[in-house]
Structure 1
Amino acid sequence: MRILYLASGIPVPGTLGGSIHTLEVARGLAQRGHDVHVVAASRELPLSYVRLRPMRQLTAQSWNGFTLYHQDIPKALSLLGTAAIIKLTRQLRPDLIMERYYNFAGAGLIAARRLGIPTLLEVNALIVDPPEILKRRIDDALGGPFRRWAEQQCRWASRIVTPLHTTVPAGIPRDKIIELPWGANVETFTPPPTPPPGPPKVIFMGSFRAWHGVSDFVYAARLLIERGHPAHFVLIGDGPERAAAESLAAPYRDRFTFTGAVPHQQIPTLLGQGHLGVAPFNTAPHPALRAAGFFWSPLKIYEYMAAGLPVVTAAIPPLTTIIREGIEGALFREGDVHDLAAAIERVLVNPAAAFAMGQRARARVVAEFSWQRHCAELEHIGESLIKTNSHHILRKIQ
């Protein structure tokens, strides 16, 4: 297949979850023998950044086995690049167009509709925001143009792939929606043959946003330190909650390491030095997750598992179907820092059992939650759509 894959406003390469997702999907499909062309941004751009040249002309470069085009337009203005996307689509004549959903994107769907190409819409967020969100209130005041365009994208898509079907508005036919989780690259992330030496290292990795639970993690770490636990706590990443987390950790600063944002290629090494990965999600600050369920496919959990780490995470479905108590790690009551500390302690109290949990986590992610498996599913969906589209064209000719 020749595939045109649009990731409007997503920096590739980059450290965002969307950047990793886009890169892994493109690379995975290319490794399966497909001719993949990705349109993304070179970096995150402010709304004030607008230059006409990238909208009119896209320059190709070879990257990790696929062709990468940078279209540097602020994410909220993505549709300004539609003409260039249509031009590129006419040049490439792809068999399939894939597009990451974004309310103000959709150029790939427009091009596909004009040229009769099947489409796969990736949905990684709630399409219709709950009433508590400012964008939703503005949209309601304007008469709903954002919602109408979001729903139009869903109607135009041949298929929709999403971690949880509740991200998609109720009016879209259920048989168009395919639930497909994210994953980890099980070739890049490999577990050490034996536990790393020294005191246990407990790792938090994330974007340091409130709903990632970074403050809960530091509070739980302090409880363990005050109980005499010898663990060292490593926080990988950056974001708006970092300063608050560092301030909370300050009384015990020698027991914490804050790495800041690091290139994704360094993550396997950092995780390989750990004994436990923690994903202390707290949906209280995230109205969309409260409204639709935990639709966010947990990249960090899959990467912990691929690196052979046992995992502690919140007892929220569907996280409870990924990490099972006492098998791949431990679960705690969402938002309860005392229960979080207890779950960490429960895993680490027996180092041999913790290592065995990590091995089971690794086996599970290889079998069920790898990017390799994800891309195999995308390939199957894409080939089915192309076959259906070919039959449709033949019938029209006849």
Structure 2
Amino acid sequence: MKILYLASGIPVPGALGGSTHTLEVARGLAARGHTLHVVASARSGWGGLAALARPRSTQFAGFHLHHVDVPKAAALLTTGLVLRLARAVRPDVVMERYYNFAGAGMLAARRLGLPALLEVNALIVDPPQVRKRRIDDALGGPMRRWALTQCRWAGRIVTPLHTTVPAEIPRAKIIELPWGANVERFTPDSFQATGQPAPGHSQPAATAPVVVFLGSFRAWHGVLDFVKAAAMLLALGRDCQFVLIGDGPERAAAERLAAAWPGRFSFTGAVAYEAVPQLLAGAAIGVAPFNTAPHPALRTAGFFWSPLKVYEYMAAGLPVVTANIGPLSQVIRDGQEGLLYAEGDIAGLAGAIMRLLDDPAAARAMGARARARVAAHYSWARHCEELEHILLALIAS
């Protein structure tokens, strides 16, 4: 197949979850013998009017990468450029990551009579308490109408959880497909194989077990819950280190809390995707303390985010501590691949980490089962194999 894949406003390569998703899907489909033309950003933000004239094109990781530096909120301005690219490339199918203000790929596919697949990774229509929804309602619902139009134009919709898509769209069109981990890059021996920390980042002292948090420092990722739970363990005299990989709005608050325990917390900041496996392989426990209370959409539709950090912990052979909410509790089964605790219960989070610290043999066994489970069910290779079948069926129909 020849596939035109649009990821408007997503930096590729990049440190964001969306960057990882786009890269692994493109790389995985290319590895399966398909020709990929990916439209993404080189960086976040606006690249000037020149960005709308022609993309900066190169070969990257086995696929054609076309950089168009336009903010996500202005993605529809690229419609003319995308249409020209589609005419030049002549793809068999168009695939686009959904975003409120995107849709250039759907428009191009519609204009050229090409089959189209829409990737949906977040709730399409926000609940009423979200500001963006209130503005849209006040304007008469143009964003909702455009979202529904894209869903209707798409021959198939791929999403981690079908509740992200409005009920008006036939369920038969929607295919649930979780994200995954690169199980070739994320392995239990990534650190030991090199004997070196990730470039530019120091590993904590090896004398104490390392508990790691990876991801965006946003409220619903529970980073402050993690630091508070860690402080509870340190107050009890536990000898352990805590590494926080990533960045975001909650970082300053997390660092203030951690300052009470000098030398016990390491903040790496944003880390290149290629460097993350080494950091995880130096850890003993991976924590994903998701808390949906600050995120109304997650409370409305269920936990629709495909938990990238969880899959990568598993691939690195780490036992995982996460909140007991679906579908997280279907990926990490309590006592098998890790431990679950009641969402938002900081003492419960601390207790789960403590149980694993107190029984390293059980923790290692859970990590081994986690590695086997992600390799069997949640790898990017498996994701791309299923996506290939969906695309081929879409073209055939």
Query: Per the shorter chain, which TM-score range?
Result: over 0.9
Please say if 1:371 is aligned against 2:368: no
Measured in 1, the distance between the counterparts of 2:164 and 2:357 equals 36
Please say if 1:136 is aligned against 2:145: no
Name 2:145's counterpart in structure 1: 148
Name 2:277's counterpart in structure 1: 268
Name 1:13's counterpart in structure 2: 13
Q: Residue 160 of structure 1 is aligned with which of 149, 154, 157?
A: 157
| Conserved 8 A contact 2:190-2:278 | no
Please say if 1:332 is aligned against 2:341: yes
Please say if 1:206 is aligned against 2:215: yes
Note the 1:1-398 alignment, pairs <5 A: 1-45=1-45, 49=46, 51-192=48-189, 198-388=207-397
Letter in 2 for 1:43: R
Letter in 1 for 2:105: G
Measured in 2, the distance between the counterparts of 1:73 and 1:201 equals 40
| Conserved 8 A contact 2:76-2:104 | yes
Measured in 2, the distance between the counterparts of 1:145 and 1:189 equals 42
Q: Runs of at least 4 residues of structure 1 off by over 3 A?
A: 193-197
Measured in 1, the distance between the counterparts of 2:65 and 2:55 equals 9
Letter in 1 for 2:178: P
Identity %: 67
SS at match of 1:253: coil
| Conserved 8 A contact 2:319-2:367 | yes
Q: Structure 1 residue 194: deviation in Å?
A: 11
State the superposition RMSD in angstroms. Answer: 1.3
CA displacement, residues 334-368 of structure 1 (integer Å, 9 cap, x when unaligned): 11100000011112211111111101000000000
SS at match of 2:262: helix
Aligned residues: 385
Measured in 2, the distance between the counterparts of 1:157 and 1:337 equals 42
CA displacement, residues 127-163 of structure 1 (integer Å, 9 cap, x when unaligned): 0000111110000000000000011110000100000
CA displacement, residues 51-84 of structure 1 (integer Å, 9 cap, x when unaligned): 2222121232000000000111111010001001
CA displacement, residues 198-249 of structure 1 (integer Å, 9 cap, x when unaligned): 3110000111001100100000000000111111111001111000000001
SS at match of 1:254: coil
CA displacement, residues 261-312 of structure 1 (integer Å, 9 cap, x when unaligned): 1111110000010000000000010011011000000000000000000000
| Conserved 8 A contact 2:211-2:284 | yes
Measured in 1, the distance between the counterparts of 2:56 and 2:280 equals 36
Measured in 2, the distance between the counterparts of 1:54 and 1:140 equals 32
Measured in 2, the distance between the counterparts of 1:80 and 1:88 equals 14
| Conserved 8 A contact 2:95-2:116 | yes
Q: Structure 1 unaligned segments of length 5 or more: list them.
A: 389-398
User: Against the structure 1 CA distance between its residues 37 and 193, is the aligned structure 2 distance closer, same or farther, given a 3 Å change threshold?
Assistant: closer
Structure 2 length-normalised TM: 0.95
Q: Structure 1 residue 253: deviation in Å?
A: 2.2
Measured in 1, the distance between the counterparts of 2:96 and 2:146 equals 15
Measured in 2, the distance between the counterparts of 1:94 and 1:106 equals 17
Measured in 1, the distance between the counterparts of 2:207 and 2:307 equals 28
SS at match of 2:261: helix
User: Against the structure 1 CA distance between its residues 72 and 193, is the aligned structure 2 distance closer, same or farther, given a 3 Å change threshold?
Assistant: closer
